[in-house]
Structure 1
C-alpha cells in the first residue's frame, strides 16, 4: 500500500480518545463527508507513492485549522490558496497554518515539501473547553489520559511510511517534554529535533519571522541528510 492509502484508511477509521475530563470536548471532524473528501484528495495528490517521509509532530489540531479540515496545520484558506483543493468552508485561516505554509513555500512548494515530510501531531484529535482551543498538556488529567492514545496514534502514523531515524517536534517545553518521554520509553525515533511553535512565532516574534522560517528550513535539510 502507498503512504496515501494507509493515511486515508487511518483517518477514515480514526476515533477520539475516551474518558476525557469533564468539560473537555473532542475536535472530531473526520466523519464529515466533506472532510473525508478533502483528506482523500490531499493524500492522493501528495502521497501516492511508497517513499518515506520525515514527521513533524505538533501538539493537537485547533478549531480553526485541522479541527475544520482534518489536515494538520492546514486551515480552509491554505487548502484553497496553496493546495488548490476545493472545500465547502469559508475562507478562514489560523496563525499556525499561515506560518507553516510560509515554510512550505520557502522549501519549494507543496509538491517538494510533502514528498519529503508529513505533518502530524501528538494527538490527531484536538480539544476544546468552553469553546476555546485546549492543548492536551494544559490539563494534567487530559495529558495523563491521552498518553496511551497518543502512543497508539503515533505508532499508527509511523506505519504510513514515516522515517524513524529522526523526527521534528513542533513546540519546545511542554510538547517536547511529553514527546521525549514517550520516545525515551518506546523508541519511536532515533533522534528528536525541535523547532518553536508557529503560534508563538506569529504572536510574539512576528518581526523576526523570516529568521524562524530559516530555522525550520535548516532543520528540514538536516533531517533529509540523516
Structure 2
C-alpha cells in the first residue's frame, strides 16, 4: 500500500490538462523540472511517509513565485529551507502568501506538527500564466468552463489519498469559494467547506492586523483537535 507521500508525488508528477487552453494562456507546471521533483520528493517523504488521514486546505492554483518555483503549495524557497529543513538551490525570493502560511504553521507548532494533520493543495494543481503574469483559473471564463472535469478528477484522486471528508478549508473567500461550493453541491466531497481569508489579501491589504488573521486560521484548524 502506497504511503501518502508516494500517492502525492505520483499524482503531481503526472498532471496533464485534458483540454486545449484558450488563446494566450499557458500552463504553469513546475513539476516538469528535475530540481522541483527532487524538492517535492524530499518534502513529501519527510512529512507524509505514513497512512494517516489529513484535512485539506485548498487554494486557487499555483503562482509563479511560490508553488510555481518549488512545486509545493504556498511554499517559497526560503520557507522550504528555513521552516521545512529542505535544502534547495532555488533563488531565495520570498512570496507573500508563503510568508503568511508559514506564520500560521509556526504558530500551530511547526511544519512537522502541521503537516501531520493537514494537506495543502489547490482547486487546480496546475497554474496558468497569460502574457507573463499569473492567471487564476476563474479569471478566464472559457478556462473556468473547460477546467471543470480536470478539477473533479484531481479532487477525486486526492480524496483517495486519505483525506477527511468532514471539513475542507477553502483558502480564499471569493470566487474560489463559490466555485468549490458549486462543485461540492454536485459531488458531495465534503460535509462542510470553511472559508479562510486569502494570504495575499491579508499581506497586501491587512498587514497591520495580520495576527488577527493568523488567529482566524488557528481557531479553525484547532477546532479539529
Which of the five TM-score ranges fits, normalised by the shorter chain? Answer: over 0.9
Cα deviation, residue 17, structure 1: 4.8
SS of 2:195's partner is strand
Note the residue ranges of structure 1 that are not aligned, 5 or more in a row.
none
CA distance in 2, matches of 1:210, 1:10: 34
Aligned to 1:162: 163
CA distance in 2, matches of 1:110, 1:17: 34
Aligned to 1:23: 24
**2:184 counterpart of 1:183:** yes
User: Which residues of 2 match residues 93-172 of structure 1 at below 5 A?
Assistant: 93-172=94-173
Aligned to 1:203: 204
CA distance in 2, matches of 1:32, 1:220: 33
SS of 1:87's partner is coil
Q: Report which stretch shifted further, 70-79 or 7-16.
A: 7-16
**1:176-206 deviations in Å (ceiling 9; x for gaps):** 0000000000011111001010000000000
Cα deviation, residue 89, structure 1: 1.1
**1:55-95 deviations in Å (ceiling 9; x for gaps):** 00100000001111111111111111111112221101211
Aligned to 1:212: 213
SS of 1:188's partner is coil
CA distance in 2, matches of 1:105, 1:89: 22
Note the residue ranges of structure 2 that are not aligned, 5 or more in a row.
none
Q: Report which stretch shifted further, 29-38 or 178-187.
A: 29-38
Q: Report which stretch shifted further, 197-206 or 79-88.
A: 79-88
SS of 2:30's partner is coil
Cα deviation, residue 18, structure 1: 2.6
- What's the C-alpha RMSD, in Å, of the aligned pairs? 1.0
CA distance in 2, matches of 1:17, 1:86: 34
CA distance in 2, matches of 1:153, 1:210: 33
Cα deviation, residue 143, structure 1: 0.7
Asked if structure 2 preserves the Cα contact closer than 8 Å seen for 1:65 and 1:76, the reply is: yes
SS of 1:57's partner is strand
Question: Moved runs in structure 1, 4+ residues, more than 6 A?
Answer: none
**1:100-146 deviations in Å (ceiling 9; x for gaps):** 00000000000000000001100000111111111111111111111
CA distance in 2, matches of 1:17, 1:89: 30
- Relative to the length of structure 1, the TM-score reads 0.97
User: Which residues of 2 match residues 63-102 of structure 1 at below 5 A?
Assistant: 63-102=64-103
CA distance in 2, matches of 1:114, 1:11: 17
